[in-house]
Structure 1
């Protein structure tokens, strides 16, 4: 099976942090870059990588401070994640690639695509905000997140982080992620810059997602030329884990189109 395992990758030093990336799948296929969500790592895509790895070269990147990547001294922002991904892409000399980004990874991917400085063929966002308005109820949810509350709700996530991360500091990571989610500045959500995206976009949302509203997802699809929208019933914030059997055929069709 083609899955990310955190045993066959490499590290690259980027602005005082050690970023981990791993390559799997078909070495000769088109490149697919995977960007995960907050408190996660690239293994959160392992429900869909075996199928995609048959035809695609898969590259997973652990975001700064998560998985096997260190946090470093810089403030964690979506722009910072964007710059990290751009540095890995340049390091690997990728001439063309597509991105599948979940949650925070999808938001960073939107920023990358909106900048139009890298040769992106296709972009898939899963459970990703393009903007987070001041009155969005999700802001209230993010405000309440602490290291302790996350450990209580998602103990497996905490345990994986403690085992995997080379410089674990869960409380510092929780503070950094909360600030990332609530950032209203230019280094945060892409907002109306998404209108600059020229790559084909597939917006994916689980219909039971408590963070990203259906309205927010449709607004994103409406702002980007050549965008398609997939709302998956009975799926939560992570449909790639929750309903992979429904998501995979659409991903394959979109990427091959």
Structure 2
């Protein structure tokens, strides 16, 4: 099987939530952890899986509250998502692995790698900033989002949420995600901690991604000891879906 289907996975309990994950690909291949973005789920990566599963053992995690993972009652933060992902890594006993994280998943990947020496070999972060200062224009964009506006603008994500989630509470879930995006405390963006990352990092952005400006990602790359930026022409925020062939070409070379 080379697709995530939300039927063949497993769940573990963590801090009052049920966390869902699936594994596809090569049983004896290098481990590759996929972390999706806000309001998404593991099926977002299905367009990449035919290529990735030829070599890798691919682990897709539905973030807390997303897909088939429940929200629980604790505050939703990037730190919480980091701890959730690390719990699954521990359960699977992954000695070495790489991470592809999109948007929120990229922020979580930075946080995981920021622990310094770790089992992470490489990180691919797509459309993900390492900080979000109070004067950053992106913060202003995110602050205007409401559960209602999200439903109206992205109805397919709302429909997927209702279809998949075992305990749907969309408004509470959406408010939790929006609060996470604006979290300026230590449970939020990694900020200075990115300077402790020791693995190789590929920061991917779509040419037209207004949520991950090129100058912000260039600054981030300079703070990480071994990082570079890959810009995908003609792509927006979801670069891996907008231009999958270009994305896979660059990422495959990086992960090899």
> Common fold, TM-score beyond 0.5?
yes
Question: Match for residue 92 of structure 2?
Answer: 92
CA distance, structure 2, for counterparts of residue 116 and residue 225 of structure 1 = 11
Q: Deviation of residue 142 (structure 1)?
A: 1.1
Deviations 1:54-78 (A, max 9, x none): 0000000000000100000110000
- Conservation of the 8 A alpha-carbon contact between 1:145 and 1:174: no
Question: Match for residue 83 of structure 1?
Answer: 83
Q: Secondary structure at the match of 2:21?
A: strand
Question: Match for residue 122 of structure 1?
Answer: 122
What is the root-mean-square deviation in Å for CA atoms of aligned residues? 0.9
Query: Where does structure 2 lack aligned partners over 5 or more consecutive residues?
Result: none
Deviates more, 1:179-188 or 1:143-152: 143-152
Question: Match for residue 253 of structure 1?
Answer: 253
Question: Match for residue 221 of structure 2?
Answer: 221
Q: Secondary structure at the match of 1:139?
A: helix
Q: Secondary structure at the match of 2:114?
A: helix
CA distance, structure 2, for counterparts of residue 64 and residue 118 of structure 1 = 23
- Conservation of the 8 A alpha-carbon contact between 2:117 and 2:198: no
TM-score computed with the length of structure 2 as normaliser: 0.98
CA distance, structure 2, for counterparts of residue 139 and residue 95 of structure 1 = 36
TM-score computed with the length of structure 1 as normaliser: 0.98
Query: What are the within-5 Å matches in structure 2 for residues 19-58 of structure 1?
Result: 19-58=19-58
Q: 1:137 to 1:72 in 2, by over 3 A?
A: same
CA distance, structure 2, for counterparts of residue 38 and residue 234 of structure 1 = 22
Question: What count of residue pairs does the alignment treat as equivalent?
Answer: 256
Divergent runs of 4+, >6 A: none
Query: What are the within-5 Å matches in structure 2 for residues 228-247 of structure 1?
Result: 228-247=228-247
